[in-house]
Structures are given as structure tokens and as C-alpha cells.
Amino acid sequence: MYKKFLIAGVVVIAIIFLSWQMSRPVTLTIGIFAGNNWDVPQGEPYAIIDEVIKNFEAENPGVKVKYVSGIKKEDYSEWLAEQFIDGEEPDVFLVLAEDFNLYVSIGALMNLEDFIADDKNFSADVYYPAAFNFGKYENISYALPVESTLTFMFVNKTLLAKENIALPKNDWTWKDFLDICRKVTRDTNGDGVPDQFGCYDYSWLHAAISNGVKFFRDDGKTSYFADSHMEEAIKFIMELRGVNGGFEVSPKDFDVGRVAFRPFTFAEYRTYKPYPWRIKKYTSFEWDCIKMPAGKSGGNISVMDTLLVGMSSRTDNKNLAWALMKKICYDETTQQLILKKSQALPVRRDVIISAEAQEIFSWEESDTATITPADISDAMDEAIMPFKFKNYNAAMLYADSELNKIIKGVVPLNNALNKLQKEINARLQY
């Protein structure tokens, strides 16, 4: 009899425990950093994620979502690494581009292929290819895109108008770019030194990208710096540099309105174009942006940087974590929030070309913006992804140093690109 009571008691306790466990709210954690990924001012750093959490919890009763606030972007990688080491990493977390390959290689990121294939309410087709593919490693998806930005060309409309030069169209070319730079570069005060210039901060990298150069093989083991398209880009930069007669253009020249063109990220454009931030920058001249000039062998192309969200491979709540990822990265309402509250761009095509986007990118009734949602959408469709392999930054730093020697005439161009390619290929094997 005693044994029967004991067994009955154990069963009752087990049922009570299981009921208690089932009634407990499930807690999901998100890893995020304060502010944005684009190094521009942002007034409400948690406005979007707080709205996402509120909506997600309303749709999933019994689920709570938490995050640690106050983590700066520059501290985020170290913080996240420590969480993984302690076995306390978030279920879902932002993935910086420089960390993506590492987390894939150590098995920290969940393979999302089965989730994508089995979810009838998910389609990768809504995304711009460069954004969605940025979350892939060896053609397997490990992260989803949240928001993106890409480079456009800032145009000083006041300076061009003063010189009776029409604003370039979005399909302009290197030739158009060079012709305008030649026309505006001159000495305006008669002291024998040029004080008005065509461009500032336009580099060999911008030229090479717009000329169709692919710098590396996808696995990062081979480079293509000796490609003929790369040689065209370097020759163009040398010609562009020659317009200034060796004079170095400074940031101040640009800030006070003495420069016609400068590459800008769209995040900077969204920040400094409308009120109130524009009163703090570039108030002495009117400006706008257009696509980057197309090279001889390329197009009006730029690199699109994308912020990703991934799932821990050790999460105990895989399906809920996938649902939360979709809420952050895929949900149309969230993407509209990014359109309204972020300095970056949504990654869903339908949101970029929506009526809301048209209204937002009109800036002000008195303003005449040259870039339209359709132009932005085209640029995002044509954009390429940055490389993410382990030695990329080191290889590009070395390439930049050597290529600038060529551009400045320290090293002759003849055969220099072949030597550079061989040296970088050797370094990529380390």
C-alpha cells in the first residue's frame, strides 16, 4: 500500500512539475548593439527592435523576448564572443560582416536551409539578391538580411549650376565624370593654386567595382588584380588624379562646397539630406546624389553592405527563433519600420518601391530629389556583395598601399599589377 501511495505521489508531483514547466513563459534572447551599423547619428537606437518585440510577443502568447541594452557596436563582437564561450549566447543575434565566416566555420550559426525550404510563408525572392546572398557561405544560408546600404555619388548642385553644367543622369559614365571634373577644376581667386575641384575621396576601389572587376575567387584563395578591367580602372584613376595637377583635395574643400563630387553611403545621404541633421552639415550649398559613374567594361554599380541576423546552433527553441528572425528580417511591417526609422534601406523590394518610400524619399515639398525609389531599387538589384573571407581585410590593405604607389607614380604601371597579384595570391595561402 505504501508503495502505491509513493508512486501516486511521484506521478502527481511529476504532473504538477510538467504543468508548471509548460505554463512558464518561454524566453528568447536577442543580441544587438546600440545605434546602427552605418556610423551615422541615430536618435532612437532601440525603437525598431522594441516595436518588433512588442508585435512578436502579441502574436506568440507565453513568449518573452529580451536583450541587453547599452552594448556599443565597437564592443559588440567581443561581447558576443564572450557569450558563446560562456555558453550563454543569444538565441538570435546580429552578425557583423567581419564575424560571419568565423561563426559559420566554428558551427555557431544554424544552417537555415531546412527552415527556408519547409516554410511556405517565406520566399527569398522578396529580397534583393546581394542582400540575401550575403548571408550565405558556400551556397548555404546561415543568416538573413535586416537592412542594407550602398554607395552613391554625392553631387554639389550649387557648384555645377555656377559652372553652367547640367546634373548628370543616373546612367552617366567615366567619360562624363572626367569631363565635368576637368571643367570645374580651376583657380578661382587668381593665386595660381587650384581651389575648386572635381572630386574628393573617389578611389581605385570605386572605379574597379564600376568596371566589373572581381577581386577574388569566392573561396578567397586567388586574386584577380592583373585583370585587364583592373588596369583600365587604375589608368582612369591616374587620369582623374592628373586633373588636379598633383594637388591633394582635403575634406575641408568638400565641406565648404569647393568640390563637385564625393562618394557617400546612402545611410549618410538619408541622415544629412533632410532636416534636422542637414543644418549641421553642408548648409552652404545644395546637393543630391546619383548612381556611381559606369566604367568602360562595367556599369553604374557599387557594393551593397548588409546587416545580418543569425540563429545560434545551440538554441533550445529553434522554431520560435526562426519565427523571431522572420519578424526581424522578413516581416513587411518591420521592413516598413526600417524604411521610416533607420538610416539604411529595407532589403525587401516591395518596400523599397512602395508609396511610403516615394513619400519618404521626397524629403521636402520644396526639394527636388534626383534619386527615386525606382533608382534605388535598380541600384540594389545591380549591386555586388563585399567579400567576407578571413584574409580579405589584410589583402585589401596591402593592395591599397601598392596600388596607390602606382597611382601616384612611385611605381610604374608596367607589369606592376601582375606582381601585385602574385604577392597577394601568396599571402592568401597563409
Query: What's phi and psi for 211, nearest 5 deg?
Result: -105, 15
pLDDT of residue 391: 87
Region at 28 (left for phi over 0; alpha for psi -120 to 50; beta for the rest): beta
CA atoms within 13 A on the CB side of 256: 8
Rounded Cα gap, residues 14 and 24, in angstroms: 15
pLDDT digits (tens, 9 = 90+) for 205-244: 999 999 999 999 988 999 999 999 999 999 999 999 999 9
pLDDT of residue 18: 37
| Residues in CB range of 105: below 8 A, 6 or more apart | none
Burial of 302 (0-12, 13-18, 19+ CB in 10 A): buried
What single DSSP character describes residue 186?
B
Q: Which CATH architecture has domain 150-303+385-428?
A: 3-Layer(aba) Sandwich (3.40)
User: 110 with 312: CB under 8 angstroms?
Assistant: yes
- The C-alpha cell at 173 is 559614365
Higher per-residue pLDDT: 341 or 283: 341
Average pLDDT of the segment spanning 131-141? 95
Q: What is the mean pLDDT of residues 130-151?
A: 96
Cα distance between residue 171 and residue 161, in whole Å: 20
Segment among 41-45, 61-65, 391-395 with least mean pLDDT: 41-45
List the grid coordinates of 27.
524566453
Number of C-beta neighbours around residue 271 at 10 A:
21
Instruction: Find the DSSP H helices in 86-203.
Output: 97-105, 113-118, 129-133, 157-162, 174-184
* Alpha carbon distance 67, 278 (integer Å): 32
Same fold flag, 2-148+305-369 and 150-303+385-428: yes
| High-pLDDT (> 70) share of the chain, % | 90
DSSP state of 246: T
User: E strands along 259-342, which residues?
Assistant: 259-265, 287-290, 304-311
Question: Which three cell numbers mark 294?
Answer: 559606369
Query: For 376-388, what is each residue's pLDDT tens digit?
Result: 999 999 999 998 8
Considering the entire predicted model, what is its pTM?
Answer: 0.87
Report which residue type is found at 379.
A
Which of 13-27, 82-96, 239-253 reaches the highest mean pLDDT? 82-96
Kind and range of the H or E run holding 299: none
**Which range, of 11-20, 30-39, 187-196, 353-362, averages the lowest pLDDT?**
11-20
Read off the pLDDT of residues 157-166 as tens digits, 9 standing for 90 and up: 999 999 999 9
d(CA 317, CA 71): 24
Residue 312 has pLDDT above 80, yes or no: yes
pLDDT of residue 272: 79
357 in Cβ contact with 373 (< 8 Å): yes
The domain segmentation of the chain, as residue ranges, is 2-148+305-369, 150-303+385-428
Distance CA 320, CA 274 (A): 38
Check residue 368 and give its pLDDT.
Answer: 53
CA distance 399 to 209: 14
Q: Among 429, 413, 408, 383, which Cα is nearest to 223's? A: 429
Give the domain 2-148+305-369 fold: D-Maltodextrin-Binding Protein; domain 2 (3.40.190)
Looking at per-residue pLDDT, the higher value among 224 and 23 belongs to 224
